[in-house]
Structure 1
Amino acid sequence: MQTDIFIVGASVGGCACALAACKAGLKVILSEDSDWIGGQFTTQATPPDEHGWIEQFGCTRSYRQFREQVRAYYRQHYPLTQEARENPHLNPGNGWVSPLCAEPKVFLAVLQDTLAPFIASGQLILLLNQRPLSAAFSPQAVHHIVLQAAESGEKIEVRARYFVDATELGDLLPLTQTAWVSGSESQGETGEPSAKAQADPRNNQAFSLCFALSYHEGEDWTIEKPSDYAFWRDFVPALTPAWSGPLLRLSGLNPRTLQPVHYNFQPNREPNQAFAGLWTYRRIRHLENFTPGAFDSDITLVNYPQIDHLLGDLLHASPSEQQALIAAAKNQSLSFLYYLQTELGFKGLKLRPDITGTQDGPAKRPYIRESRRIKAEFTIKEQHVSAAHRPGQVYAETFEDSVGIGFYRIDLHPSVGGDNYVDVESLPFQIPLGALIPEKMDNLLPACKNIGTTHITNGCYRLHPIEWNIGEAVGYLVGYCLQHDLSPRVVRNSPSHLQAFQQHLEEQGLELQWPDGLVLEEGDPHIHAR
Structure 2
Amino acid sequence: MIKRSLLSLTIGLTFLESVVPVALAAPPRSPDQTVECEILVAGGGLSGAATAYEALLSGRTVCLTEITDWVGGQISAQGTSALDERPTQRQQLLYSRGYLDLRQRIKSKYGELNPGDCWVSESCFLPKDAHNILFNQLKDAARRGKGTLKWFPSTVVKELDINQSGKLIQGAIAIQHRPVKGAPPLNTSPLSQTIEDSYRYENSSQFEKSIVRFVPQQRKKQTGGTAPDWYVVDATETGELIGLADVPYRLGIDPRSYLEPSSSSETGDRYCTQGFTYTFAMEATKEPQAHTPPPFYQQYAPYYSYELQRLADFGLVFTYRRIWSPKEGQQTKFGGITYSAPTPGDISMQNWTWGNDYRPGTAEDNLIYSRDQLQASGQLQPGGWMGGLRTETLRKGEENALGYFHWLVAGTTDSQLGANVKQPQPNNRYLSGLDSPMGTAHGLSKYPYMREGRRIIGRPGWGHPQGFTLWEIDISRRDYNEEYYRNTLSPQTYRSLRAAIAGFEAASAIAGTKPLDQIMRRSRSTIYPDSIGIGHYAIDFHPCMTMSPAETPGNKEREGERRGAGQAYPFQIPLRALIPQKIDNMLVAGKSIATSHIAAAAYRVHSFEWSAGAAAGTTAAFALENGIMPYQLVDELPRPEPQLEALKRRLQKNSNPITFPDTSIFNQNWEEWK
Give the TM-score, by structure 1 length.
0.85
1:49 to 77, 81, 84: 84
Alpha carbons 1:92, 1:289 under 8 Å: kept: no
Query: 2:541 corresponds to which letter in structure 1?
Result: L
Alpha carbons 1:142, 1:176 under 8 Å: kept: no
**Corresponding residue of 1:409:** 538
Pairs within 5 Å for 1:92-131? 92-117=115-140, 123-131=148-156
Quote how far apart the aligned CAs of 1:456 are.
0.8
Q: How many residues align?
A: 477
Quote how far apart the aligned CAs of 1:153 are.
2.3
CA distance in 1, matches of 2:290, 2:98: 41
Are residues 1:148 and 2:156 paired? no
**Corresponding residue of 1:313:** 366
Structure 1's unaligned 5+ residue stretches are 76-84, 235-246, 253-259, 268-276
Query: 1:459 corresponds to which letter in structure 2?
Result: A
Query: 1:48 corresponds to which letter in structure 2?
Result: L
Are residues 1:463 and 2:463 paired? no
Alpha carbons 2:56, 2:142 under 8 Å: kept: no
Pairs within 5 Å for 1:66-465? 66-75=102-111, 90-117=113-140, 123-138=148-163, 139-150=166-177, 151-160=207-216, 161-188=230-257, 190-222=259-291, 224-234=292-302, 247-250=303-306, 252=307, 260-267=308-315, 277-288=316-327, 296-305=344-353, 306-311=355-360, 312-316=365-369, 319=386, 322-343=390-411, 344-353=423-432, 354-377=436-459, 378-389=468-479, 393-416=522-545, 419=558, 420-421=561-562, 422-465=564-607
**Corresponding residue of 2:335:** none
**Corresponding residue of 2:37:** 3
SS at match of 1:331: helix
Quote how far apart the aligned CAs of 1:359 are.
0.6
Structure 2's unaligned 5+ residue stretches are 1-34, 178-206, 217-229, 330-342, 378-385, 412-422, 460-467, 480-500, 502-519, 547-556
Deviations 1:390-444 (A, max 9, x none): 5675531111111111111111211156525341221111111111111221111
Query: 2:152 corresponds to which letter in structure 1?
Result: L
CA distance in 2, matches of 1:145, 1:227: 43
Are residues 1:511 and 2:653 paired? no
Quote how far apart the aligned CAs of 1:493 are.
3.4
CA distance in 2, matches of 1:386, 1:490: 30
Quote how far apart the aligned CAs of 1:519 are.
5.7
Deviations 1:33-75 (A, max 9, x none): 1111110110111022111132423321221111011100112
Quote how far apart the aligned CAs of 1:288 are.
3.9
Identical columns (%): 27
CA RMSD in angstroms comes to 2.3
Quote how far apart the aligned CAs of 1:180 are.
1.6
| Larger-Rg structure | 2
Quote how far apart the aligned CAs of 1:227 are.
2.6
Deviations 1:256-293 (A, max 9, x none): xxxx53523344xxxxxxxxx21221111233469xxx
Deviations 1:180-215 (A, max 9, x none): 221111014844333521111111111111111111
Higher mean displacement: 186-195 or 2-11: 186-195
Quote how far apart the aligned CAs of 1:96 are.
2.3
Quote how far apart the aligned CAs of 1:218 are.
2.5
Structure 1 runs of 4+ aligned residues shifted over 4 Å read: 118-122, 317-321, 389-394, 517-521
CA distance in 2, matches of 1:361, 1:416: 26
Give the TM-score, by structure 2 length.
0.67
Quote how far apart the aligned CAs of 1:152 are.
1.5
Quote how far apart the aligned CAs of 1:122 are.
7.4
SS at match of 1:153: strand
**Corresponding residue of 1:472:** 614
**Corresponding residue of 1:80:** none
Quote how far apart the aligned CAs of 1:477 are.
0.2
Alpha carbons 1:381, 1:457 under 8 Å: kept: yes
Alpha carbons 1:60, 1:511 under 8 Å: kept: yes
Alpha carbons 1:442, 1:488 under 8 Å: kept: yes
Quote how far apart the aligned CAs of 1:349 are.
1.4
Quote how far apart the aligned CAs of 1:94 are.
2.2
**Corresponding residue of 2:59:** 25
